[in-house]
Amino acid sequence: MRKIMKNKKFEILFLLLIIILAAFLRFYQINRFHFFNYDQARDALFIKRIIVDHQFRLIGTQTSIPGFYTGPAYYYLMAPFLWLFRLNPVGIDVGIAIIGFLTVIIFYWLLLRFTQDKVVSLAFTALYATQPQIVQQSRYAWNPNPTPFFFLLYLWGLFKIANKKRFGWLLTFISLAFLLQLHYSAVSLLLVLILFAILFRKQIKFGRPFYLSFLSFLILMSPLLLFDFRHNFINLKALFGYFKNGAPGEISLPSFFSGSIMKLKLLLIELPLGIKSSIIAFLILAVLFLLFFFKNYCRKNLNFILVSLSLFVGILVAALYRGPFYNFYLTFLYPVGFLWWGILISKLKFKRWPKNLVLILLVLIIIFFNLKNTTIFSPPKRTMADIRKVADVISQDVNSTKPFNLVGIQGGDRFDYNAVDYRYFLETFYHQRALDWDIASYQKAENLYLISTVGKIEPLTINVWELNLFGPRKVLETWELENNVLIYKLGK
């Protein structure tokens, strides 16, 4: 066993297998269109308008805080992929999958430099490559999904800075600019950078590379700053409103302590180890803290400090958020638990070959359950052809002299009453642009096409905000399609 573990060909073969498996899990039947809901369709529509209509944007998506927007980096990052795929929205999914695949490779490379232990690095790369939730988020378009890639580059930049490599400042600031524009939960990394600069002030040089790198950060953030300046500081006002009133939402919030423990459990136990039992997770966390505070395994290790800072500051900042919290807010920190475990195990003082043997056996067991729980083989609830059929029917009926709008009744946990998914196909491939999905646009429309995917409904009596704004008086026409899909043309 010891000879196998020291064999370089074995390491290369195992790494190659991980890379092939990571690619398979991220690209297998990605064109089946598993996920195209409101967020994906809205972003695809904005990216399409950048490419085709040259309607360039200074902002990204609105956050859960009304009037508070992210930067536009996600749109411009994904635009080449949508263009290469001739506006087929699967192109954005492929772009996300490519970034997710590259994240696996960077993860191995970074952990290997952090630990200098090839077996540990291969083991935790295999776990990261197969983790079901990470795989799923690597297969569809959404602005938080590329954040682990930039988080690893951010850590690499800090590592370079601590080792007096000037290139580190540029890498850190560029990665931070992308992270902040992809999702504001990454604001904790700004605090991590400040704490890092204080802790390692004797090793850090704040010279010309720092100032040029900071300037690059400001340039990347400038579209958002320009938008705020042009729109009476709408973002800044929304942020002040949040600090005063909190974020809207009816979900009861956990206490600061219990919320922090839940997030720590997610990042350190559930994602890397696949353990969801709260009792087992609590016992593991208790042992980890005993090791951390009473042993000197890693407290003086630079890499462990970087990872721990990112982990604990990220959790503390997230626990301070006053609004409904969802796990995907921490997507940028998904790699951190794998890195934390990898560094910790590489520093444990046991004989190397029995430790590696036990590690490999445990990793193989976790990978088995990871693959068992993957969702990539699940059939899609609907296909691109299903959406095209609806868009085709509407496009043939639209009167170019009458402004029209769309509304969708999806059922289940779908909340997209604006039918943005159908808007994308109608505008992109049939060149019929509906009015926007704001109050004035629904009131201005002369015809409203209601798409129901839940079968027959009473379109004149159903209580939906968009329908109420339009004020339908009569059903002008009805089309019944396959899979229980109906289209109602409504008039005033």
pLDDT digits (tens, 9 = 90+) for 85-98: 999 999 999 999 99
Residue where one domain finishes, among candidates 323, 341, 372: 372
pLDDT digits (tens, 9 = 90+) for 197-231: 998 888 888 888 899 999 999 999 999 989 988 88
Residue found under tokens 């979900």: 251
pLDDT at residue 150, as a whole number: 98
The per-residue pLDDT of the chain, averaged, comes to 88
Same domain, 368 and 457: no
Same domain, 65 and 127: yes
Identify whether 171 is part of a domain: yes
Buried b (16+ CB within 10 A) or exposed e, 180-199: bbbbbbbebbeebbeebeee
Residue where one domain finishes, among candidates 337, 372, 407: 372
| DSSP-assigned beta bridge partners for residue 480 | 486
With a pLDDT cut of 70, the percent of the chain lying above it is: 90
Same domain, 176 and 300: yes
Same domain, 86 and 32: yes
pLDDT at residue 65, as a whole number: 79
pLDDT at residue 412, as a whole number: 63
Domain residue limits at 467: 384-491
pLDDT at residue 257, as a whole number: 67
User: Has residue 265 got a pLDDT over 70?
Assistant: yes
Residue where one domain finishes, among candidates 344, 372, 400: 372
pLDDT digits (tens, 9 = 90+) for 343-368: 988 887 766 677 788 888 999 999 99
pLDDT at residue 456, as a whole number: 92
Identify whether 69 is part of a domain: yes
Identify whether 428 is part of a domain: yes
User: Has residue 287 got a pLDDT over 90?
Assistant: no
**Is there a contact between 383 and 32 (Cβ–Cβ < 8 Å)?**
yes
Give the 3-state DSSP-derived string for the chain, with helices as H, strands as E and coil as C.
CHHHHHCHHHHHHHHHHHHHHHHHHHHCCHHHCCCCCHHHHHHHHHHHHHHCCCCCCCCCCECCCCCCECCCHHHHHHHHHHHHCCCCCHHHHHHHHHHHHHHHHHHHHHHHHHHCCHHHHHHHHHHHHHCHHHHHHCCCCCCCCCHHHHHHHHHHHHHHHHCCCCHHHHHHHHHHHHHHHHCHHHHHHHHHHHHHHHHCCCCCCCCHHHHHHHHHHHHHHHHHHHHHHHCCCHHHHHHHHHHHHCCCCCCCCCCHHHHHHHHHHHHHHHHHHCCCCHHHHHHHHHHHHHHHHHCCCCCCCHHHHHHHHHHHHHHHHHHCCCCCCCHHHHHHHCCHHHHHHHHHHHHCCCCHHHHHHHHHHHHHHHHHHHHHCCCCCCCCCCCHHHHHHHHHHHHHHCCCCCCEEEEEECCCCCCCCCCHHHHHHHHHHCCCCCCCCCHHHHHHCCEEEEEECCCCCCCCCCCCHHHHHHCCCEEEEEEECCCCCEEEEEEC
Confidence category of residue 297, pLDDT binned at 50, 70, 90 = low
Same domain, 34 and 66: yes
Same domain, 392 and 307: no
What's the mean pLDDT in 329-349?
A: 91
User: Has residue 304 got a pLDDT over 90?
Assistant: no
pLDDT at residue 1, as a whole number: 45
Q: Is 364 left (phi over 0), alpha (psi -120 to 50) or beta?
A: alpha
User: Has residue 373 got a pLDDT over 70?
Assistant: yes
**Is there a contact between 77 and 147 (Cβ–Cβ < 8 Å)?**
no
pTM for the whole structure: 0.92
What's the mean pLDDT in 59-71?
A: 85
Same domain, 266 and 393: no
Residue 77 structure tokens: 């990052």
pLDDT at residue 483, as a whole number: 86
Which pairing describes strands 447-452 and 486-491: parallel, antiparallel, or unpaired? antiparallel
Euclidean distance between CA atoms 239 and 308, whole angstroms: 28
Residue 371 structure tokens: 């693959």
Euclidean distance between CA atoms 398 and 32, whole angstroms: 29
Same domain, 359 and 447: no
pLDDT digits (tens, 9 = 90+) for 149-165: 999 999 999 999 988 88
Neighbours of 143 (CB within 10 A): 23
By C-alpha distance, which of 387, 384, 382, 385 is closest to 451?
387
Same domain, 413 and 267: no
Identify whether 379 is part of a domain: no
Identify whether 328 is part of a domain: yes
Identify whether 125 is part of a domain: yes
Domain count, the chain: 2
Same domain, 360 and 442: no
Length in residues, the chain? 492
User: Has residue 431 got a pLDDT over 90?
Assistant: yes
Same domain, 108 and 253: yes
User: Has residue 299 got a pLDDT over 60?
Assistant: no
Identify whether 378 is part of a domain: no
Highest average pLDDT, of 284-293, 340-349, 427-436, comes from 427-436
Same domain, 267 and 314: yes
Residue 382 structure tokens: 């609907």
User: Has residue 249 got a pLDDT over 60?
Assistant: no
Which pairing describes strands 474-480 and 486-491: parallel, antiparallel, or unpaired? antiparallel
pLDDT digits (tens, 9 = 90+) for 443-459: 999 999 999 998 999 99
- Higher model confidence: residue 486 or residue 9? 486
